[in-house]
Structure 1
Amino acid sequence: MNRLAGLTRFLVPSPCYLCGTPSVEDNGLCARCASDLSADKRTVPHRCPRCAIRVSEAGQRCAACLQHPPHFDFAVAGQDFNAASRYLIHQFKYRKDPGVLNALMQPLFLSIEQAYGRRQDGLTNNQLKDWPDVLIPMPIHPERRQVRGFNQARLIADRIGRRFDLPVHGKAVVRSGSSESQSGLSAIDRRKSLKNAFEVRQALPRHVVIVDDVMTTGSSADALAHALKRSGVRMVSVWVLARTPAPGDIPH
């Protein structure tokens, strides 16, 4: 949201995106909903370092990653894909309301800083986690791009790039496979539909981050990471706004 829009919201508060309470925050949420949505809370969930799904202990890998490790090496999620985050992401993704992106980005920024350390804190390279070289927005099929009018992953990547001073390579990879939506498909069907779906068209540096809105089964990220590593990339991380919980794991 630009400065003028923020001033307008301050002078004439608009309803909170989630509860309808008048809000004067730039992110479009009231203070309570912003606090509930934020990852900077007393009870930040432990997540599998490989796929970012909830686990019971810090540093613990989930059973799925132990049995069948994905091609990507590390993942960060801003929050779980629950009722609140689902509503905001759908408003952003399907109703073309970019204002809600402000509310969604803050938890992801905090999670990235918690995982990697803040470079502006004066830490040495040895004290920092291996920060990536470039961000790659998850490509969408040209037909879906034409219908939607934008790639939501590119907008997210641009925000991350500005926040952490990281370059975004939006044309390095193209999606040439099926334009069918992945939502509603089983994990097996997702993998089948994504076989050879991505083509890397530019030489890329050693460490690349895939940026997307939601990780559900991880099939799309896995297929893209596989293509990136075949092209010569050594390390692939994934950063997403939200991670779908495991079946039966209902986030509070």
Structure 2
Amino acid sequence: MFDEIEIMIKDLIFPKQCFSCRTWGNFICSECESGLKVQTFQRCIVCQKPSLSGWTHPKCKKRYAPERLISIFDYHSKVVSSLINTGKSGLVPEIFSDLAFIAARKIKIRDEQIWKYILCPIPQTKSKARWRGFNQAELIARVLSKHFSLAVDNILVKPKATRQQKELNKEQRASNLRSAFSVSLGPIPKQVILVDDITTTGSTFLEATIVLKRAGVKSVWCIAIAQD
């Protein structure tokens, strides 16, 4: 109830405007929602080549690789990139919740075992979380949690600060994140869905999966709102 009141107050003080047509009411209005550029195909997270429903190719599947990657929107779409960049740089957390709500309705998961999975947002360092005031991956995970009736568990932590991934090439991205994540204390689930806002080379998901599987997780899926 208090969350709903807070949202109402924010909407009154800082009304939302559609990033596409500039009408007031939502960051993406219902008419422009259909114009968001959705990924035309899913990719294998290891080789980044087209893959049926995002499943990791058998030839790419290694012991600590994720089983699946699902990305919803094309980051190269002007509206999608504007939303994500404004949400981060402008410190507008509601953008990620709204975008995740739209994305959740577009995710097609036909798997009767989905209820066994828990959602795990890609973590930030404590200092970055304090500076920004929110973790966009966690906001997205909370929306997906309601849509799919799955629990959210912050089993990953990021004790080590790293350079921004967007500044680096593929090889640098992988080395930049090495040993960046660790598992928090507590029970380790067997099936995990990692959640983040953007994926490019998949380095973040790949490194997080290595940490999870070494800790005892058996299956890891990855969901990103946008594919760069």
Q: Is TM (by shorter chain) over 0.5?
A: yes
- Which of 191, 194, 197 is equivalent to 1:213? 197
2:27 touches 2:95 (CA, 8 Å); kept in 1? Answer: yes
2:124 touches 2:135 (CA, 8 Å); kept in 1? Answer: yes
- Which of 150, 154, 160 is equivalent to 2:138? 154
Residue ranges of structure 2 left out of the alignment (5+ in a row): none
Would you say 1:105 and 2:107 are equivalent positions?
A: no
1:210 touches 1:236 (CA, 8 Å); kept in 2? Answer: yes
1:163-182 paired onto structure 2 within 5 Å? 163-170=147-154, 172-182=155-165
- Cα deviation 1:100-126 (Å, max 9, x = unaligned): 2354124421333x1x13xxxxxxxxx
Equivalent residue, structure 1, for 2:29: 30
Percent identity (aligned): 25
Q: Report how far residue 68 of structure 1 moved.
A: 7.3
In angstroms, what is the RMSD of aligned CA positions?
3.3
Residue ranges of structure 1 left out of the alignment (5+ in a row): 118-126, 245-252
Between structure 1 and structure 2, the one with the greater Rg is 1
2:93 touches 2:134 (CA, 8 Å); kept in 1? Answer: no
- Which of 16, 19, 43 is equivalent to 1:17? 19
- Cα deviation 1:178-204 (Å, max 9, x = unaligned): 332212111111111111111112332
Q: Report how far residue 62 of structure 1 moved.
A: 8.5
- Cα deviation 1:199-232 (Å, max 9, x = unaligned): 1123322110111100111101100000000000
2:54 touches 2:70 (CA, 8 Å); kept in 1? Answer: no
Equivalent residue, structure 2, for 1:78: 72
1:48 touches 1:54 (CA, 8 Å); kept in 2? Answer: yes
TM-score by length of 2: 0.81
1:225 touches 1:236 (CA, 8 Å); kept in 2? Answer: yes
The residue type paired with residue 19 of structure 2 is Y
Q: Report how far residue 36 of structure 1 moved.
A: 0.6
Count the aligned residue pairs. 221
Distance 1:51 1:100, change over 3 A: farther
- Which of 214, 218, 222 is equivalent to 1:230? 214
SS at the partner of 2:43? coil
Tell me how far apart the structure 2 counterparts of residues 95 and 139 of structure 1 sit (CA, whole Å): 20
TM-score by length of 1: 0.74
Distance 1:144 1:3, change over 3 A: closer
SS at the partner of 1:217? coil
Tell me how far apart the structure 1 counterparts of residues 10 and 217 of structure 2 sit (CA, whole Å): 45
